[in-house]
A and B are shown apart, each in its own frame.
Chain A
Amino acid sequence: MGDDRLGELRLPDLGEVDEVAVVKWLKKEGEVLKAGEDLLEVETEKTTFVIEAPQAGCLKSIVRREGEKARLDDLLAEIA
């Protein structure tokens, strides 16, 4: 994922993809995260893609909720 600034989870580069839909958060706000743990699923072009936690911490707030769209580098969640 690489491009995340500390404390932020942004939509990574998935190639020539314009937009994804957030389909499922696998963690709840307030839950403790391990780095690399499965965090959410997004969907585009009939493809589900799993995004992992970029760092250990706590899922402070979910910015893009299930059903919402996101583009490259959009903020998805804040991690404390």
Chain B
Amino acid sequence: MISWLKSREKPLEAIHLALGCADYAASYRLQHQLHTLRCQGRIPDTILTVMHNPVLTIGRSGSRTNILVSPEVLQEEGIAVYEVERGGDITYHGPGQLVVYPIIDLREQGRDLKRYIRNLEQALIDCLQELGIMAERHAGFPGVWVDRRKIASIGVYVKHWVTLHGLALNVRVNRKHFGLINPCGMEIEVVSLNDLLDEAISLEEVTSHLLAKMEPLFGWEFTKGEVGEFLERGT
């Protein structure tokens, strides 16, 4: 355990908000509302877990050239495209993918962007290991990989040292949808957790495993919150 975590007497309060299946645009607005409240110190670290309908999001380093189909095809499939402020290139979110948006204050985590990304990756690796999957990092390519196939992506935005956006873990995604893009702007293969397991696992189970691995890495103690009453707390 790293020294600044060791020196903490009590765990940090952290709230888990499970949004279930939620619209990308609505979740995006919620992230920004929570970011403002976190910056003002009116709420503790808050971790959103969510599953989206199919969308493509393009980060600050990305471009639409990594979309491999026409706008008409996207429209027919009902897939919206959002250009957002997170780091990285293009990615896909959709059913069967666990998306985690930690809205957390990195000043309480050692003010280190690299450590934050490493901790997200470590939580994913530990979670997958518990499920019997050996996953790893690839130097220079943030995210988590299994046999050179990408199982989890990371893209983050940090303002006033408080984070937005986060990670996406493929649990049982429609691989056809990843064929719409060059994920992260590269020609890579993606894989889902359930392609690798003999027995299928639910998103809820994976969420519990992942949060349990994040808790000690970030020095948190989770309580569960409800979105409505939670926003009222900050207003």
CB within 8 Å for A48 and B156 given contacts A23-B61, A24-B60, A43-B61: yes
| Contact A46–B154 (Cβ < 8 Å) | yes
| Contact B113–A47 (Cβ < 8 Å) | yes
Binary CB contact string for chain A from 32 to 57 against chain B (1 if under 8 A, 0 otherwise): 00000010010111111110100000
| Contact A48–B114 (Cβ < 8 Å) | no
Contacts between chains A and B (CB distance < 8 A), count: 71
Nearest chain B residue, comparing its CB with the CB of A49: B158
Is B64 on the interface with A (CB-CB < 8 A)? no
Q: List chain B residues, Cβ under 8 A from A52.
A: 160
Q: Which of A38, A43, A46 contacts B159 (CB 8 A)?
A: A38
Secondary structure type dominating chain A contacts: strand
Is B157 on the interface with A (CB-CB < 8 A)? yes
Q: List chain B residues, Cβ under 8 A from A49.
A: 113, 158-159
| Contact A41–B142 (Cβ < 8 Å) | no
Q: List chain A residues, Cβ under 8 A from B155.
A: 46-47
B 87-120 contacts with A by CB, 8 A: 87-88, 110-117
Secondary structure type dominating chain B contacts: mixed
Is B172 on the interface with A (CB-CB < 8 A)? no
Nearest chain B residue, comparing its CB with the CB of A15: B112
| Contact A47–B115 (Cβ < 8 Å) | no
Is A6 on the interface with B (CB-CB < 8 A)? no
Most buried by B among A17, A21, A43: A43
Q: Which of A14, A23, A24, A50 contacts B112 (CB 8 A)?
A: A14
Report the bound CA distance from A21 to B88 in whole Å.
12
| Contact A48–B142 (Cβ < 8 Å) | no
| Contact B117–A48 (Cβ < 8 Å) | no
Is B85 on the interface with A (CB-CB < 8 A)? yes
B109 to chain A, nearest CB (A): 10
| Contact A16–B112 (Cβ < 8 Å) | yes
| Contact A15–B110 (Cβ < 8 Å) | yes
Q: List chain A residues, Cβ under 8 A from B87.
A: 43-48
Is B150 on the interface with A (CB-CB < 8 A)? no
Q: List chain A residues, Cβ under 8 A from B52.
A: none
B6 to chain A, nearest CB (A): 18
Is A73 on the interface with B (CB-CB < 8 A)? no
Is A74 on the interface with B (CB-CB < 8 A)? no
Q: A residues bordering B, Cβ < 8 Å?
A: 13-17, 21, 23-24, 38, 41, 43-50, 52
Inter-chain pairs besides A15-B113, A46-B86, A49-B159, 17 sampled, C-beta below 8 Å:
A14-B112, A15-B110, A16-B112, A17-B113, A44-B87, A44-B114, A45-B114, A46-B87, A46-B154, A47-B86, A47-B116, A47-B117, A47-B157, A48-B86, A48-B156, A49-B113, A49-B158
| List of 9 A-B pairs having minimum Cβ-Cβ separation, nearest first | A15-B112, A46-B88, A46-B87, A50-B159, A47-B156, A16-B114, A48-B87, A46-B142, A47-B87
